[in-house]
A and B are shown apart, each in its own frame.
Chain A
Amino acid sequence: MNAPFRSAPQKAPRLSRRMFLRAGAAAGGGLFLSAKLPGIAQAAQAGAPAAPGPALNAYVRIATDGIVTIVAKNPECGQGIKTMLPMLIAEELDADWKDVRIVMADNDPVAYGRQVAGGSTSTPTNWDPLRRVGAAGRQMLIEAAAQTWNVPAAECATAPGLVRHTPTGRTLGYGALAEKAAKVPAPKLETVALKDPKTFRIIGKPVSNIDNPAIVTGKPSFGIDVTVPGMKYAVFQKCPVFYGRCMEANLDEIKAMPGIRDAFMIEGGKDLGGLSSGVAIIGDTWWHANTARQKLAVKWDEGAFAQDSTDGYAAKAAELMTQPPHMNIRTDGDADAALSRAAKVVEADYGYPFVSHQPLEPQNCTVRWSADGKLEIWAPTQLPEPGRQLVAKTLAVKPEDITIHMIRCGGGFGRRLSNDYMVEAAAISRQAGVPVKLLWSREDDMRHDMYRPGGYHRLKAGLDASGKIVAWKNHFVSFGADGKFISAAECAPTEFPARFVENYRLDASLIPTQVPTGPMRAPRSNALSFAFQSFVDELAHAAGKDPLEFQLALLGEPRIFGEKNTRDGYDSGRMATVLKTAAERAGWGKRQLPPGHALGIAHFFSHLGYFAEVVEASVDPSGQVKVHKVWAVGDVGSTIINPSGAENQVQGSVLDGIAQALGQKITFAEGRTQQANFGQYPLMRMASAPPVDVHFVLTDNPPTGLGEPALPPVIPALCNAIFKATGKRIRSLPIDPATLKTA
């Protein structure tokens, strides 16, 4: 393999999977553990394709100098998994963390099973298996030492990086044992002994991001930094209207421009998650290619989609709200009857827009074809194997002829679960006949996202004389057709407060659209939380109750709905605890707030994590919202594997949610995305970022992921604080300062 970067960014050499196996087979090359793992239930992976094959694999290498190389199996996109998963192995291996080197796996489902950065699934699905991989290695090292000393293995124990014969105090380092240990038959992973968590030395300690030194010194680290010999740079111009097709273009003029090597049309298909129609321009630098693009004149067939617009969707939603719903999603009791008996009825319409992922590293991919029709891909992707299958299918190549190197992603947020840029780069490189790095502009990235879908809710609830919710009814207008929601547009029948209100009804109607949509950080939850937790707050105020007390009363006694520790399961006790803890930490009801400041509270369960958040905010006379501080409390199980990474994820999720609420909106007109860059789509910035206090409640549940669940509660918590401060209820996102203006 040619190194993807001209200068090696890693302390340890970057090894391709093939080199790795070759090195392992060589005598004296060190210990390799290749471990077949039992299949684990993947209940947490709804919305993703089924895993190919029943098993995971993990690999550990110990060199004779004691350096332990651990393969990180899942894509790294800022969630810290490249650091965290090897911690699990290193802990049970009893490796000394200072001797650990980490290499990123290539895409290799045979060796590693499902490799994905999505759905906050890496922690729950790897917590047990990867510790077993480490424990198996430790057992083999102990066995090797016992053989060397000719003593029973039971008399040996490990300390970081070495095995000790307890009765005599003799020790042997892992490096010295590696060769012998590699010949010990690997134990069955189900049978290996795991450590008592009380003895953990690595898990539970803050461990710094393994790539910090490379990043702070500007070493090539990301997909955009990949360089292969002879590589040229490509831009790809697609039709601004979704599904539009390229009919003709001034290719000769473009090809004659300085620094331009080639320009050609790509026919493309109809799947926007695959290869679209467009024009590729190949240049000596990306700037040459992108500059030539300014002169590109394309005749597009814009197609039927050019009729679609955000205003049209809003009008359709308003129309559907007046009509019988298309379908029922859940019915408990009789909501209409209960509403007619209710002491008080509250009605409100909530709406939220389409939003865009916008990782800071624009989509890119580097591809090199060999003369025999095989290809090598360097991709910042959250989901490499489906990318391989997409390229194989689209370009009629055998999957086994495609090698994908997973490169650190400059942010993911769900955008890189789609591999459209990968198949584009592969098609362009093949036609250009040279290795190509395709790089999208920011405008490409904003106009051709798989957006978080918008939605509309008509909510109606009844309170009895004591202020208890006795009925909850929702007509949800979302996007889709023929009874099927488009990606990330659905609402689960178990979404809170379903199961907590006796008379509950969730109906839905669908607006047809062809806008490409997909999961975005805390998919569904990031939008539903706003509508549902804001409306619960409305009901608290309507009932004349303190929102915290009202929320706790709604959660009721600790009990478990559905199956424990699944996405449809709900433990009201876990939620009540985080809610109370967040309120305590924020001084809810106890602290004297500065004039104009108010607190709002909300909670949400998503991706197996229980989070409650309190926002302190104020609104100035011009209607500008200022967030002063956020308290986030989460329960993600028994163990915070890497507290440093965990705190960072929660702070980032919270600030991400605030930025969405304060200003993010994607709109469409004439089938086009109207926003193109950060001037029209504001991301969070330093001056608007409040301090975020993060606290975890530890409970006797398996550890779960943190990429997502801290985001959903912050949006309603903010809106609830704004209501408390101003008496004005935010029912539409993003927050429009004009509606909050008082002077």
Chain B
Amino acid sequence: MAFITGAARGQGRSHAIRLAQEGANIIAVDLCRQIDSVAYPMATPDDLAETVKEVEALDRRIVAREADVRDEAGLKAAFDAGVAELGPVDIVLANAGIAPMALGEEPHQAWQDVIDVNLTGVFNTVETAIPSMIERGQGGAIVLTSSTAGINGIGGASRGGLGYTASKHGVVGLMRSYANTLAPHSIRVNSVHPTGVRTPMVVNEVMQQFLESDPAMGQAMANALPVDMVEPVDISNAILWLVSDDGRYVTGITVPVDAGFTNKK
């Protein structure tokens, strides 16, 4: 049983499908609304419904709820509803994230929004899931989605870009602390660090203009392997290895899925 945030589309939907293909049931949450400081269109209720449809087409069960990772109580209500219907959670994927970079007049709120979603939202997600995982005593696996911007000082000098990089670095600190504190319960915690992934968060007009305008940020797409971006399933496959028994003794590690970007810096 996997609890996945940001599951309406992009990487989150891909994780839901990939884990369902391998037999997992899914609790899927997504905000399904716009945040004002985010310049590209965010996921919709229709997107989340599509994730539900694709998981159910695999003959797996899914409970999907609209919930905001910034709202711990709302997130917990969604989690509890899923557990009540599908049973206890073994796998947590804190995937929800935003990239509020913009050209020109930048919303002052961009810094706070990206910290709230990408860092506090990850904290809320883990805090929501761990009491029941510890109580159950069966161990488990948590994967926090960071970024190459969680390892490198990329993302540009805008409020949103700085916030993005800071939030993704912060996720690594959370990951390492949780890995240490949850290890006695055999709950493993790791982070993944994608380069650019072909999702609506990256492949949109605003982000493309932003990348073209700022050479430092544009470099974030210059991978070592001869590919411009990776696909959502590449991140899903890394997560699948981390959460499966194949990764049963892997904890506290950062896994770049970045086509050699970090190594090339």
Q: Do A and B bind each other?
A: no
